[in-house]
Structure 1
């Protein structure tokens, strides 16, 4: 049984409340008629809880609550009042009230609810006190532990920090309890970071890596570590143990960690080790013990794995190069060649290593080569040379080599490392270009004019023709010299152009294949990809890259990579495709071979379980292997470092793990500082989506791709780059690293763009050159219009100018006659146009203000609003309305409303604002006066309603008490009528409270799904089904919108009979958004349909649906009942255009029904 104090300034209510609360025998109630009397009682007696009214003289319920909290701290306090305003409830709870209960409703149930609330908050307080006692006992236990111990909750806040922890760290528990953000790591490690205790709650592999010797025992983690920051930097060896922290139900509520200083033990162990080492020093020099062999073996094995990984990375880079790479001794014996070298010279990789490979050099180039090699010195070990060689078939080809001489410590050459490429095509193109220029020049010298009249034009055309022929010849040479396959074909597959490489690859004759269809057999599983690829080409995105397989005429399946461009006519129809491709079979095979090698390596590593004898035998071999691997890695490293391409490896978060010298030079980086750091390359916004798509396209099945994009250099220059990126995956298919090889293609891009422009000029000039002498004469005659035609054109232009002047005058008069202020101004505030009303309002002269800055003074409170308003204008939403205040030159503050339009150019840049405004100061004053009047009326209504409800509560309570003791049937009948009448009065008064709130607050956007869900949860309605996609729909309505749904659901439950469900759905119609609330109950009688929204109609107060209609009408929403009698009620709410919006895209299409699944059942 609990003792409570009930405080109210109305004695009748005190007596009534005491009587009802003591009926069950769970409470003893003492009363006080004021806060002062209550304090007198509190000073002499202890109470388990306090019940208080709000509206009392001298000291109201909130002030009484503050005093109680200041003097008696956490005694349970319940505010029981007739004041139902939301701000009072919030104020009470903010000041520490345990519960808030509004007077009203049936007296018996009201006091039963109050009794339940009192018992609940008292029980809760006692449970809290018991919990605090339990926590204090636990804290005492932790404090007595000899090991430094602390604990955190699930949010990472410190909840325990014992005395041993204070002694170890020097941090008192009062200073760190409640701290989060890894504050507990600072005293131990000197920085905020996750530690062992965090790994209990968050299985982050990065945390695990910080602890080298981590052991698991069930759900516990144990580790040892040297911590240099402890004891003011003296450092100590620490033993850790961490485990989850459970509540009494077995739920994890945090984690606990114990720390033990084992420095003395570690020093003893280290001393013992040193003594043991000294005793066995002589023996160790003769033979390694089993443990030492095993340690060396493991170290070598790890080193070998690392070297193999490193070699594998460099090997991948080198083998993926298209350049020929080799290393050879001064006597010509090859020690390394890559795949490109073997392909070019027709060699077998296995047989050529260790053998001499003599390259035949023409006599006239041999002296150049001797001088080139002799010029290599330890100070200048690298040089570039370009010379010819004689191929085995007698063909002479050009090559360009970058040679590095490798010297021993005495300065003697021990090896050469060379990276080369075939430059024959470029050389031949240069020579062909020179010959063509000479021929064209000779032809140009022979041109003579045939007629004197056209001589000047002809000479000019001849010069243009020569330039165009040169450009066309250069373009043709470039295309024909490509190793890529180039073709153009119509949508029906007929070839209109092929280059020599295309014909060679497919075994075609250019003369016969032009104009004919060329069908390529594509495997069925790749055909759908190719079709999707071609159908994705549009005028906005005409270029795309694809990689797929084809079946060659001999049945062999080969991989190809194509860059396809669709060419569209003026109406957007595809007229031709232009394709550039290459065979990527070798790369695909190499990738598959690499994958198999990785798998073999992984399998071999798993099988390494050598015994002691095997360890002894393998030790020497591993040592030799390590030396070989180091040499191999060194060779690959030198090859990579000598590359002119930029080579790097980086993790998915952008941290560099390797860069070569070319990469550092290009980006101006230092290798020592950039490894392990983030290197952010600025990419123009237009190319970022391309890069995201490129990286996301890399998969375990297709790990390599090529991309070309622009970057912004530190000096602001934009350059082009071409990257070949390889994604490296772990065994679970996750990307662990990227390997990239890139080059700067700016010069090539500029050359291509120049070539494209020259080609366009060539095409245009070619079209002009087809005109014959007669056509030129006709063109000349057409360009000499007669005097009569010129006069007619002049008259038409004069008439058009007059009409334009009249139209401009009409629009100018309309603008100047406006009472609104109209202006146009640039983003920096300079006026480009103002009308007369604008000048009058601001006291400006039009002649002086045009082109000048006009600064309007805006109060500080409104400036952020204006900034947000202007920044919200975009090309998609260029118009918005804003209301704000300005300070006039006289100091007067006035209100204005502006409709602003942002004007953009074709590139989307903001060039101007156009604004139409008006002064709304008088309207704002009237609104303020109306709000003040409404506030006073509401205050009067609230006070009156409060007093009536208090008296009504006394009346109802008294009637119910009389009813308990009444024995006469006739008297009981009259009592029932009186009680029903009082309930009707209470309902009417409750309606006045709701009706008073209609339209008081500004309408706002409501999410339909959230509003319906909230009503169902609060009102305990469990059979409402709402469509899921209504989560994306919002409507603009009065804040009392939830009252609408509450009334509709209540009507269905009370009057629908045996309903099983209530359905809420919606659909966009031509008239707006139609929201439907329907049930499967009895429905509404047709005779009542026209009256259900009238005030007073209904079985109870008759105010529910009347209130619903009034709330919706505030923002123009219309409700109607369209159900069929006997099949259920159906209410349709029509939300007009502008009063609804979708947060995503579910209601973009007119007439589309929003469908989903029930949330409550």
Structure 2
């Protein structure tokens, strides 16, 4: 093979001699140049295997040319051929990358032979290095394509090489980390380091064909990268001892994470499988699945083992007929065979299994592997409770029927409603004449009662009240209406608390309502009589008061004047009390009503600053409730002495409500706090606070005074849960 080289010298004759001599061996083709500048120009336009240069030339000398060549053309072989033999030239040439240095001498034949040898040796070494680099680049590209890194471990030098891909795998760029055996060992995860070192030693001792291991190496960021390392001994010394290993790194972090997730998932599945309350049994099915001996227990969880009542080792590998004799006669085997053949799941209703003396519900599935899975729930206790509940409900219904109460049973989900025989008789119906649903009751409620009744029912169903109770009228078969007391309770709820079933009673209260009407009518007559009597009494009092006033204007003795003054005071007090009875003559006469506090209090005209914070509160009270607050205002203004501010607010205590009336007056002494509510106690008539308590008590409300004397009065009105509603709850 011929190599083309370039020889530069400023001596024309020497250029010709060197060219002729080097070409004689038929291995080199020599082109010549007269200066360094010409060499650079030729190298830019043609390809040469090597450059031979004189040292001392006009313009650019050999060292300068060497520097230019190395900078622009890289590692092309360069031989410095010169007559200068100074040591500093030799050192300078070699330091700047000359491959060889040859001094011109008198022994021409030997000199030219050595020059030819240097040229050929430099070219072949350069080609070998280039071939090695090309090979390494191809290998590096191949490794990049497979996403693997390359490592090379020289045991004689105890040195380690990592490819750029390996470095990037661990977070480093090329040149950022100089790999070494020491930092390789330091970066291995502490838990893996002894395993890796032992495995490597055992491989070097010949225990394994190849070196292959998964372990973790610390990333530049501090985390760890899982790598699969494969390697092989590629060189040994004369005694057969390994001296060099080459191998690869493969990043398997994602694979390891996936394996860990799979492992955790399997652990969770096994934990769920073992801890689930239902029995789970997996069967291998042989033959056609027609008998209990065709079902072999492959796996059973703890609950299933408990159901069979045998150790797990007595179940696995045995047939269902062996572990549960007598099951072949049940419908279970036929159902299991159907599922096994069709793949359609089945759920069997609760069935009594005599061998286990238990009521069991079974769900049967077929896996893609053709194995049959049976999920079993022991419902023996539920079955017993359900039977007892049904018997109890029957006894309860019979008892209520005997007590002359009508019974209703409402399925809230479907609206289906059971009405007892007595319920129908109360309204004049025979069995079969009324549609058994919720609307049969709803459409019979009197139009005037319907809204309030539905609101009370819905409030209870939503959990806003503790009980449901309503008095309303129901239409009878003949078109008349009867008053009933309707009471009920939710008996069954879903897991989210939503009511599913409600049971209750209707009690006829027609006679009670008639008595109430008669009482109201009697009270009305008494009020009329009281009004007439009061009118006459006031007129007569005014006449007497007039005569007293006339007598006082006469010239009378002091004793008579004193008695007339006392008489006038008594008459005026009597006059005020008679007028006061007019305001309270209707107390308890009218039905209580739902009244919004904010509306009531907004109508009050207070002479001092009044702060009201009772939004969204509605109470059930006598229509005279407004007089309660007017009397409290009158009490504050009359007896507080220095009242400038009144505050009305509420607070909830569990299920009850408290309304607070507070002023900043002098307050009430501790020994008077209860006496102020008694008849006749007070600076005036002593009726105001007494009648307040009477008005409130009609619907179960109470009042007490809890203020601190000297800091103001504080009245607390307690309202029971059934006598108040928050926003959106009032009828």
Task: State the TM bucket, normalised to the shorter chain.
Answer: 0.3 to 0.5
TM-score for both structures, normalised by structure 2: 0.44
